[in-house]
Structure 1
Amino acid sequence: MIIPSNLHNVASYVSGKRPQAKGHCAICAVCVICAVIALVAGAIGTAGADDGASQRSRAMDTRAEKSEPTTKDWIGNADVVRWHELRGTGARANPLRRQVDPPLEGADAFIEYRLRYDGESIDLPGKGDGEFFALWLDEVEGGESATHGAVPNIGLHVSAGENRFMVRFEPRREAYAKPLQGDVEHRIVARLRVSEGGRSYDQLELWINPGPGELARPHATARGRGPQTLRWMGFTTGGKTEPSDRILVSDVKVHQQWEALFGLSLPSEPVEPEAKPEVDPPPVVTVDFGKQVAPILKQRCFACHSGEKPDAGVRLDVWDELLNQVKPRHADESPLVLRLQTEDPESRMPPPDAGERLSVEEIATLTTWINEGVSWDETLLPTPARTTDHWSFQPIQRPAIPQVDDWEHWIRTPVDAFIAEQLDKHGLRPAPLASVDTLRRRLALDLTGLPPADAGDFSASETRQPDNTSAAESHDIADRLADQLLATRAYGERWGRHWLDVARWAESNGHQHNRERPHAWRYRDYVIESFQRDKPFDVFIREQLAGDLESEPTAEQLAATGFLAGARYSGNELDKAIQRNDILVDVANTTASTFLGLTLECAQCHSHKFDPLSLRDYYQFQAFFAQGQPGNLVLDSTAEAEQLIDLRWRLFRSVEQRMIRARRAAGQPEPILVTPKSVVGAMRSEERRSFDQLERSIGALPQTWGWHATLASAPSRPVAPHEMRWPLSTRRTAYPRPTHILLRGDVGSPGPRVEPAWPAVFGPTSEPSAKEQDAPIDAPAPRQQLAEWLTSSRQPLAARVWVNRIWQWHFGRGLVETPGDFGTQGELPSHPALLDFLASELVAHGWSTRHIHQLIVRSNTYRQSSTDNERARQLDPENRLYWRWEPRRLEAEAIRDCVLAVSHRLDDTPGGPSVAVGKLETSLRRTIYLAHQRQRIAHDQVLFDAPGGIGVCSQRRVSTVPMQPLYLLNSDLMTRSAAGLASRVRAAAAAQDHDQLARAAIHMTLARHPSPEEIVRIAEFLRQSPATDSGPDALEQLCLALLNLSEFLYIP
């Protein structure tokens, strides 16, 4: 191979000698580049087999043996042995050429090299002629001045007035990436491809300094027709490359796979596939329930302890009820056995007056039966079907709209008809219509949590005269405003926050470690956007319960499962069974409370004492969620993203299996438990480097905190079940996990296995299509079945519960005042017919929440004033008949948002990651976008009763404590906002006109006209208050006082 004279090495400057030698260049006798070429001997061979990555790479190794070169100032010592300098000639030249062995033909190939361009050598287009430099690939070697046209070129050229990285086949068949930076190391990677059905290389993709996750996003792509076979490669300079240019190149390599570019150390042995869960071995049973146990119970116990009304409430003829009296596998701790054995006549069973004691043999039979797990025969003693006549469990019947004599003028929507019917029965009349200003403020605060938009337009307010608007005009204004507000992002933010209360949403795990969930904000944004777009509520339910189970789930559907993933969980690495059970308990309880309004949690350890919900019902309902777990779900659905995740798990599991084999060989008894933390800690240095690199690459992918059916491991595997902070693939390959009744709620005391089913009181559950245990779940799954049932006509609660929540958030309390408990211990509805009408309207109008809003906010019931009525107050002091509007205090978020809004300080930037905990005090964004981490919620939010995300918050408490007024008068938020409001007032009113200042201040704060008395008193205050050089002036003090008024803090 010829080494031409324009190839230089820093070593040539050592002694200044220029000896000539046959076969060597004119600069030095044996330059370092020549020595390197001698070492790698004429062809690009296979690299060493240290690991799987290097086996898939071939290198043009330009690293020299250490001679003793002299460095120049712009080259660091560490670079001398690695970087090699090429110089231009002012003409086309090929200073370094190498044969590719074996040649590239047909298959994709990745080519990389590193480039560092001396900053002082760069000619900028416009000031000079720019730069050209490339690595070419060709069928032939060519000479020193060969052009190597119509072949792949990877390098630099001038484009759009800049020196840019480029790939090309020929002029007009080229593409450009980022501009060149001087004195910076660039890693240049290109992929050569042959199109499907083609024979020649015809596509060239380029990346500059790529990461492992960028395969799908090349920075430039050129298409053309190149050679079919590439046998040679080399560097070329052109007419733009002067002899003074200093170009450093290094590490020329060819790879067959993308991951080899990053030296990823993959397992040399195949990773064992995830095992299918093993069927639990049948328990050892020596006592026959039907032949030995049932006769004893029937003859000696059932006379008193069976049927609907057993003595002392103890029923032994139903397995679910029997469990309250026994502790399976622990007969010595079972109340039943203890009562059979005791000598105390007050406690003994059967009691002395009921017959002889059980024999020793009978007690021994029952003891063995309990120690063997309390087997049961449902065919012999079936669980009775639960029934109830409680109102909420009955089908929804659409009632007729009442016709109430002499109320026609007042009834605007069907809501008014139902309210009027009850008022008329009690001889009551409604309060008058509220003023237009009041309605504007009520609608704005109720629907958006912000003051009316025109409150800042003081000039507009002056043209609007108070108290001269007719009722028809008032309704028309309010109707149009309501429609406008319901279409805004602010509405989605306000009502999305209501839903987040119920969804117990938070951005941390809770408990002692309380790790952050940095991607949980996507669920918040999903909720906001769903309300803003009026997503049908049945779709809203299905996406939250089973969005990940769609065949090709969208990012939105994956984010929706943040509802399930909102569960608290501890960082307990020692007992994952307890951790997982805590999650499933949270999910089951939350789902039942949110969508059914049932206190299902009361049936976790024993059948519900009041509602028709059994212990079996509880665990069958929990079984809907058994195939899944919370985790960071990667939203990038590309094959490359999946590949990164797959590589990460393959590497992790290979180390995990190595640990298990080593511990097993050392004699450690089964089961061998290893935690994710210990697996990472056991990685060798190269494995850890690759693992960390993959973690960084995956961490850069868009993710959401959600629920997913893919499991990190099957329950039979000897490894902790999951580490939920790690990203998961979106591929569904998990087998269903079995669910067992947990006796007394103890994970250490599993009872019979159960299948997913809703509570029996609602009728039989159809067979789930994915119930089979012989195949991975690739069909509709139990959670999808649950979501379909919840939104079907067979289930009467979901629609009732939802319209009741909507009513509650409009009026401050629901038609059922216990929104999370529609059971027998909950309150009865004040207007049952109205509740069923709204529920049937919801379903009939496509589960449209906006339709229910319009029925309510367009009604006269909603638009009443808060005028008191002595007679009505005596008959209905709690206003359960809705004879007037009841003002109520704004929630914590709305108080803060309104304070910022009236002072023009509110940052209404929508969506995105939450404001960090450390910036809560200084951020001006809407409160819903502040970090909401368990145990670290902002002080002002806690002060005004914001929920902590611990569990479902169906209704916020409204406390009154001394710290609240102290905060409103003295906090930095309030004093700065008062100053901002004062500045607005000054700008809107005439300079020193105190009357105008009074009008502007009242209008901007309370969105209404001030009364004459208010103007006089405020103007007098402003005139008499002395000017001050420090502290707030009189106007700022006035504004602070206005922000503290109940009228400002309440929905009027």
Structure 2
Amino acid sequence: MVLKKSFPVLVLLWIGLVLFQSCDKAPAGRSADKLPKEVSYNFDIRPILSDKCLACHGPDANKREAGLRLDDPKSAFSALKDSPGAHALVAGKPELSQAYLRIVSEDTTQLMPPPASNLKLTSREIALIEKWIKQGAKYEKHWAFVAPAKPALPHVEKADWPKNEIDFFVLQKQEEKGLAPNEEADRERLLKRLSLDLTGLPPTLQMMDEFMGDKSPSAYEKMVDKLLLNPAYGEKMAIHWLDLARYADSHGYQDDGYRTQWPWRDWVIHAFNKNMHYDDFVTWQLAGDLLPNATKEQLLATGFNRNHKITEEGGVIPEEYRVMYVTDRNDMFGKGLLGVTMECAHCHDHKYDPFSQKEYYQLFAFFNNVSEVGIESVIGGPETYAKRPLMEISNDDVKSILNFVNKPDTNRLIVSVMGDLDTTRKTYILQRGVYDAHGDEVQAGTPASILPFDSRYPKNRLGLSKWLFDKRNPLTSRVYVNILWQEFFGRGIVKTSGDFGMQGELPTHPALLDWLAVDFMEHDWDVKRLVKMMVMSATYRQSAVLTKDKLAVDPENVFLARGARYRVHAELVRDLVLASSGLLNKTIGGPSVKPYQPAGLWEGATSGRGLLSVYNQDHGQSLYRRGMYTLIKRTVPPPTMGIFDASNRDLCEVKRLKTNTPLQALVMMNDPTVLEASRVLASRLTQENSGARQKISKAFRMIVCRTPSDKELEVLETYYQKELKTLSPQAADKMLSVGEYPLMRNVDKRTVAAMMRVISTIYNLEETITKS
């Protein structure tokens, strides 16, 4: 009986021994070509296990087969449950490692993964596992939970290409893959890219002429510095932070009443413009109220943690909603600042990352002491615009310490902020995440796998911020560097910006990420310095031209052998249209506005109560504010913005989707703002003393930000002449009636309408709203 039971194991051992002895011959199906010198568990082995093995041999106990966990070294090196004399892994000996023998078995009843799973390891993956076992089968702590160390700059062959340290790491990867970087983009396209990235606005004709005429070696850097000093820089940089902080102008839930958090948005713009360093920027928002002798500005900054949804419905259970508010803050802290999915541990221990449910509620405790209630009042008057704890901003405040707040009237202005109770509210583990199912009491703390909470720090939000910016914290710097990289290159070094955990994507350039993270900390978390380094790099300046060879090798541009090419953010689509037409109202800050919107949207999805039950469109200059100032009602977010993938700000969002749909084309063809901009620009151009060809060329430069080719001009001029001949007076009148901006007097309507058609066509070019 014993022999009979052991027979399959003996056969597998014999097969493995034969394979092992012949491995130097690189048998068919198991090529060892291009294997790394040292095989890494984190970067080479764990991705294979995650894709092919961990569904049955991973952290999920309910689905685990044979009691074996291959992601846990203790289990992997232990005797097998069904074969006590055998082990899944034997360090240095693949011929004795059952996990290896099963993946190379030719017996389909023994083969792993089972054929029925439709999963199969490639020859390279098998060779990696074999080499890893030979090298000792060393497990590693997850890469993101190890504090970054600053690596040396790598050696590259094309040593004359790098312009700063970033380029060495990028070029090394390219050379490994047989790629070469593109040449630098032409000046016109490069300026458009830079201006959109740093200010969210297209370059003006004056900027284009100035840059094209500057032949000095420092011309590009001078333009970078000029744009970094532009007040629009703060507005552009604020957009990603408003997504992360889930900023909106309504409370959410059914009634979805109006809220006045916009002074906090004014502060964010101000903070970016004055280059507030990231550690202070975040600390003020997390715990400004707990700083010694806290100022009103520091208190205003804490509006960051009161941007979550708040109910105003009658009949709710207050404690249930209060716990929801705390949960929202906790989850936002995990995703937005730590780049981990802490919310997965709300109801049970995290299945994939080393976070227990207890640790989730220890972190929860930092945000659980706010002096708030689940429901404060029903929807109504000005007192409900903000929820306690709150602060009032007086006219004297905006003349002194809060002079960056754009307060347009003398009405009461109140903002929800943070403020703790005088006593400590007890925090419990909530069984299955249910608000009133109290388990064990816990004290404030942090996940030990990231960094144990230092006993020197106070157990409050200020202490949490000190922990966050402890140089030993492995995540804080990496996560923000990655978010900024995503802003300028279209994709993070870690593609899953909000998930640096076990289920997240591996960094494409881990050494570069670590170098940037350490450098960011070494230079006191200086955001503008980091931004300048990124846009000054040769990597950033590359042409976006794509060859067939590069498309075949690197279709997603992971290795950055060409410039990034993608549509700009939803807010910037609007900004580009308004700025190029001359309509843009450049006022910074202030209350959100309600531009053109299809009738009936709010009225069809409302409780019928409060200031936001009916959409009352704004008029005059309010119609031409930047996209970031468009009022966001959470239950009915701005439709045009949504079509271009803007966040509805329900929850923390660190990465927007990038879609390409017919609805986007329909917006550019029919949106009143685009048509009005086309009309206004056409009216202005027709007043100039120049020919049609010159007018069209100027419009093209203002919108697309480059000089059109002769062929492009010919097509557009031919279209203009055709429209001029065929447009009837009635059709021209109808076209020119769009929008509220007054039509110039004494203009030839057919001429303006024909030019409007041409300009509308230019706005509809893919290149217009694409960063390339």
Cα offset, 1:1029, TM superposition: 2.3
Change (3 A) 1:781 1:755: closer
Change (3 A) 1:767 1:409: closer
Residue from 696, 711, 734 that aligns with 1:998: 696
C-alpha separation between the residues in 2 aligned to 1:743 and 1:929?
Answer: 41
Change (3 A) 1:429 1:436: same
The 5 A counterparts of 1:159-238 are none
Residue from 176, 179, 186 that aligns with 1:428: 179
SS in 2 for 1:762: coil
Partners of 2:289 and 2:299 within 8 A in 1: yes
The 5 A counterparts of 1:596-635 are 596-629=338-371, 631-632=387-388, 635=391
Aligned to 1:844: 522
Change (3 A) 1:950 1:464: closer
Cα offset, 1:629, TM superposition: 4.4
Aligned to 2:119: none
Worse-superposed segment, 546-555 or 614-623: 546-555
Cα offset, 1:942, TM superposition: 1.5
C-alpha separation between the residues in 2 aligned to 1:619 and 1:313?
Answer: 27
Aligned to 1:962: 662
Q: Is 1:1048 paired with 2:759?
A: no
Partners of 2:336 and 2:653 within 8 A in 1: no
C-alpha separation between the residues in 1 aligned to 2:543 and 2:712?
Answer: 21
Q: TM-score when scaled to structure 2?
A: 0.70
SS in 2 for 1:861: helix
1:917-937 CA distances to partner (integer Å, 9 max, x unpaired)? 745565211121222221232
Residue from 543, 547, 550 that aligns with 2:291: 550
Aligned to 2:713: 1015
Change (3 A) 1:750 1:438: same
C-alpha separation between the residues in 1 aligned to 2:140 and 2:648?
Answer: 35
Change (3 A) 1:632 1:1051: farther
Aligned to 1:399: 151
Change (3 A) 1:915 1:563: same
Partners of 2:60 and 2:351 within 8 A in 1: no
Aligned to 2:379: none
Aligned to 1:57: none
Partners of 1:523 and 1:705 within 8 A in 2: no
C-alpha separation between the residues in 2 aligned to 1:943 and 1:1002?
Answer: 25
The 5 A counterparts of 1:640-655 are none
Partners of 1:866 and 1:884 within 8 A in 2: yes
C-alpha separation between the residues in 1 aligned to 2:584 and 2:413?
Answer: 28
Amino acid at match of 2:419: H
1:281-310 CA distances to partner (integer Å, 9 max, x unpaired)? xxxxxxxxxxxxxxxxxxxxxxxxxx9997
Aligned to 1:362: none
Residue from 446, 450, 471 that aligns with 1:758: 446
SS in 2 for 1:817: coil
Q: Is 1:937 paired with 2:678?
A: no
Cα offset, 1:959, TM superposition: 2.2
C-alpha separation between the residues in 2 aligned to 1:913 and 1:492?
Answer: 17
The 5 A counterparts of 1:375-454 are 389-405=141-157, 407-454=158-205
Q: Is 1:927 paired with 2:627?
A: yes
C-alpha separation between the residues in 2 aligned to 1:920 and 1:928?
Answer: 17
C-alpha separation between the residues in 1 aligned to 2:430 and 2:390?
Answer: 33
Cα offset, 1:983, TM superposition: 2.3
Aligned to 2:650: 950
Change (3 A) 1:934 1:783: same
C-alpha separation between the residues in 2 aligned to 1:767 and 1:881?
Answer: 43
The 5 A counterparts of 1:258-297 are none
Q: Is 1:1024 paired with 2:702?
A: no
The 5 A counterparts of 1:143-162 are none
Partners of 2:482 and 2:494 within 8 A in 1: yes
SS in 2 for 1:884: coil
Cα offset, 1:938, TM superposition: 1.8
Q: Which has the higher strand share?
A: 1
Change (3 A) 1:398 1:455: same
SS in 2 for 1:707: coil
Q: Is 1:858 paired with 2:536?
A: yes
C-alpha separation between the residues in 1 aligned to 2:678 and 2:538?
Answer: 36
C-alpha separation between the residues in 2 aligned to 1:747 and 1:571?
Answer: 19
Cα offset, 1:960, TM superposition: 2.7
Aligned to 2:246: 504
Partners of 1:455 and 1:1007 within 8 A in 2: no
1:771-803 CA distances to partner (integer Å, 9 max, x unpaired)? xxxxxxxxx551111000001112110100000
C-alpha separation between the residues in 1 aligned to 2:283 and 2:418?
Answer: 13
Cα offset, 1:1028, TM superposition: 4.0
C-alpha separation between the residues in 1 aligned to 2:63 and 2:497?
Answer: 32
Amino acid at match of 1:758: T
SS in 2 for 1:708: coil
C-alpha separation between the residues in 2 aligned to 1:421 and 1:966?
Answer: 43
**Of the two structures, which has the highest relative contact order with CA contacts closer than 8 Å and spacing of 6 or more?**
2
Partners of 2:188 and 2:212 within 8 A in 1: no
C-alpha separation between the residues in 2 aligned to 1:748 and 1:823?
Answer: 30
Change (3 A) 1:410 1:447: same
Aligned to 1:748: 436
Cα offset, 1:1022, TM superposition: 2.5
C-alpha separation between the residues in 2 aligned to 1:1005 and 1:574?
Answer: 51
- Between structure 1 and structure 2, the one with the greater Rg is 1
Aligned to 2:591: 913
1:812-869 CA distances to partner (integer Å, 9 max, x unpaired)? 1100000000000000000000001110111111101111111110111101111122
Q: Percent identity?
A: 34
Amino acid at match of 2:707: H
C-alpha separation between the residues in 1 aligned to 2:688 and 2:152?
Answer: 53
SS in 2 for 1:932: coil
1:977-1009 CA distances to partner (integer Å, 9 max, x unpaired)? 10111123334451xx12212221211111211
Q: Is 1:985 paired with 2:685?
A: yes
SS in 2 for 1:998: helix
Residue from 319, 324, 329 that aligns with 1:577: 319
Aligned to 2:262: 521
Change (3 A) 1:1014 1:313: closer
Change (3 A) 1:636 1:878: closer
Cα offset, 1:1020, TM superposition: 2.6
SS in 2 for 1:862: helix
SS in 1 for 2:521: helix
Amino acid at match of 2:758: L
Amino acid at match of 2:364: Q
Cα offset, 1:627, TM superposition: 1.3
Partners of 1:999 and 1:1010 within 8 A in 2: yes
SS in 1 for 2:152: coil
Aligned to 2:512: 834
Amino acid at match of 2:340: L
RMSD of the TM alignment (CA)? 2.7
1:737-778 CA distances to partner (integer Å, 9 max, x unpaired)? 000001111122101100000002134323477xxxxxxxxx
Q: Which has the higher helix share?
A: 2
Q: Can you give the 5+ residue segments of structure 2 that lack an aligned partner in the other structure?
A: 1-57, 68-138, 373-386, 398-409, 595-611, 736-752
Aligned to 2:32: none
Partners of 1:487 and 1:533 within 8 A in 2: no
Number of matched pairs: 572
Q: Is 1:882 paired with 2:560?
A: yes
Aligned to 1:325: none
Partners of 1:496 and 1:528 within 8 A in 2: yes
Amino acid at match of 1:743: Q
C-alpha separation between the residues in 1 aligned to 2:702 and 2:450?
Answer: 53
Amino acid at match of 2:223: L
C-alpha separation between the residues in 2 aligned to 1:815 and 1:703?
Answer: 40
The 5 A counterparts of 1:720-799 are 734-767=422-455, 782-799=460-477
Cα offset, 1:636, TM superposition: 5.7
Cα offset, 1:1021, TM superposition: 2.6
Change (3 A) 1:313 1:580: farther
C-alpha separation between the residues in 1 aligned to 2:307 and 2:225?
Answer: 32
Aligned to 2:758: 1038
C-alpha separation between the residues in 2 aligned to 1:537 and 1:805?
Answer: 13
